[in-house]
Structure 1
């Protein structure tokens, strides 16, 4: 699933996810707009997002 789908499913704003994950709001916005590869998100950010959303990193990587 995409990051945005997971975030919305949990009723989180981008800002809330940023605070929970420690990933910048700008990075989250870029991932949602352009996808993981084009946003050049970095594996460490993907891990932080996955932990914050309580999903396996693989779920986020599947979108790319």
Structure 2
């Protein structure tokens, strides 16, 4: 019953995906080169986990930081 929200990449649907900076089909080790993370339709910088493009939310520091 969630086909309106998930199941394909379309405007307005939620998406969880990774954007890589290198092609993993050329070298499987490139699958570690994560540039952006999309979680629940929000885009984050993989290095900082601060939201980019879709908002301006900044990651809160971990307790040890």
Q: Name the TM tier (shorter chain).
A: under 0.3
Structure with bigger RCO (C-alpha 8 Å, 6+ apart): 1
Which protein is bigger by CA-based radius of gyration?
2
* More helix, by proportion: 1
* More strand, by proportion: 2
Q: TM-score, normalised by structure 1?
A: 0.23
Q: TM-score, normalised by structure 2?
A: 0.23
